[in-house]
Amino acid sequence: MRREPSILHLDLDAFFAAVEQRDKPSLRGRPVVVGGVGGRGVVSTASYEARAYGARSAMPTAEARRVCPPGTAFLGTRFAAYKRTSDVVMALLRELSPLVEPVSIDEAYVDLAAGDHDLSVPGVTALGRALKARIAAATGGVTGSVGIGTSKALAKIGSELDKPDGLTVVPAGQELAVLHPLPVRSLGGVGPATAERLASIGVKTVGDLHRLSLVDLTSLVGQAHGAGLHRLARADDDRPVVPDREAKSVSAEETFARDLTDPARLAAEVEALATRVGSRLQRSGTSGRTVTLKVRRFDFTTLTRSQTLPHPVDDPRQIAEVAHRLLGAVDRSGGLRLLGVGVSGLSSYVQGDLFAEPVPPQPEPAPVEPEPVEEEPPPGPAVVAWYPGQDVVHPGLGAGWVWGSGLNRVTVRFEGPRTAPGPVRTLAADDPDLRPGDPPDWSDPVDAGTAATPDSGP
């Protein structure tokens, strides 16, 4: 822990949804859910308007559709657009310090002590305000929440305390006063299962956790996990800011207070771990081909089992399916003390929607002939599997995005980040003039040649 609040943590607010609302003016102020739009889809990000109805990250899209009102926009991901915006933000952070540690596409730590800054509380407060204003101006209105503290843990907690568009500075000497009233879930590494075990002995806040002895805590959650939580409850965190780290894998694990033997409970734990891993993959804009299951048996022997898939995945349900198969091949007699799920072989994905169920190609009907013919006419062109939110361009109507598709038709709203809400047009799904487009440039005042006449959507 440092003597000055010199570590900054930035977390962009509802990032994927914020980029969608910036690029699609008709969605501003409306609930927006980004992620998988197919039957097995999972929510990557929900706008704050959608969160008010209960939508959240890692929720099945089908459940989000049930809780959100009519008119909610459910969009596939556009990683190229998010990456372009993220690059602008990360460049601004690197102007503050050579030590910038990106955690994901929308989150990073900055070591302010490595730059030429006034590290007093008024100094870093002014710096945080100026950074937030620069980010909003450079990204066309995307906001971020900033926390500044004497450690990475305090900076991250600070960025969560006043969302969205917040700024919290935790002065040196005030760490415990800030930490102790917070729920234990505020600490990194405290997931639902750990929080439930702590609650069973009356530990609900970080202050309650601080009062536990190291022996009691490690007996409840395990040696390594317990030691880490014991330090965090005391604001003891000396982790450095590590620039340009590249994750080789994403994983999550849980140590149980009692060895688990119940198949239903084990299955539920696998689902929860897969959800955590999939959510982190989606937030970082990556996917991986190898799924790994880690188990520690009652006798403390540790086993890992892996399966490499033909294509990369980031869908929690697909990850869980593989992990269930791997668990089925493990001897669980005597019980399991630890479960872990991980994905490796990571790469960036650029698909718009990894979760949607594509529309199968369909031939056009044969033309009506006045008399029977002996040969079948050749099938017509295949229907393109457009997905909601996809960037498109039309030579006559300009640039826009897919509102929806089906029945060999695609509905497009022609608008961009610097236009008024644009008109909606329905075209044939195989219209040769309609093509996938690049993400719009929010800094260009004439971003698409979009028709400016507003029109109500379907």
Residues noted as catalytic: 107
CB 132 within 8 Å of CB 167 = yes
Phi, psi of 440 (to 5 degrees): -70, 155
Cβ atoms of 158 and 11 closer than 8 Å = no
Token pair belonging to 199: 């609650």
Beta strand 167-169 pairing with 7-12:
unpaired
354 near 287, Cβ under 8 Å? yes
Query: What residue has token string 């990556």?
Result: 286
**Interstrand relation of 7-12 and 144-149 (parallel, antiparallel or unpaired):** antiparallel
What span, in angstroms and rounded, lies between the C-alpha atoms of 175 and 232? 11
- The 10 Å CB-count burial string (b at 16+, else e) for 255-277 is bbbeebeeeeebeebbbbbbbbb
Distance CA 349, CA 353 (A): 10
Residue with tokens 């600070």: 158
135 in Cβ contact with 144 (< 8 Å) = yes
DSSP 397-434: TEEEEEEEEETTEEEEE---TTS-S--EEEEETT-TT-
Considering all CA atoms of the chain, what is the largest pairwise distance in Å, rounded to the nearest integer? 91
* d(C-alpha 401, C-alpha 439), whole Å: 10
One DSSP character per residue, 212-233 reads S-HHHHHHHH-HHHHHHHHHHT
Distance CA 158, CA 143 (A): 16
DSSP class per residue in 304-368: EEEEEEEEEE--HHHHHHHHHHHHHTS--TT-EEEEEEEEEEEEE---S-SS--PPPP-PPPPPP
Order across the sheet with 73-75: list the strands.
43-46, 32-35, 73-75
273 Cβ neighbours under 8 A, 6+ residues apart: 252, 253, 254, 323, 339, 340, 341
Task: Evaluate whether 295 touches 336 at the Cβ level (below 8 Å).
Answer: yes
Q: CA–CA separation, 42 vs 56, rounded Å?
A: 10
Angstrom distance (rounded) from CA 339 to CA 336: 7
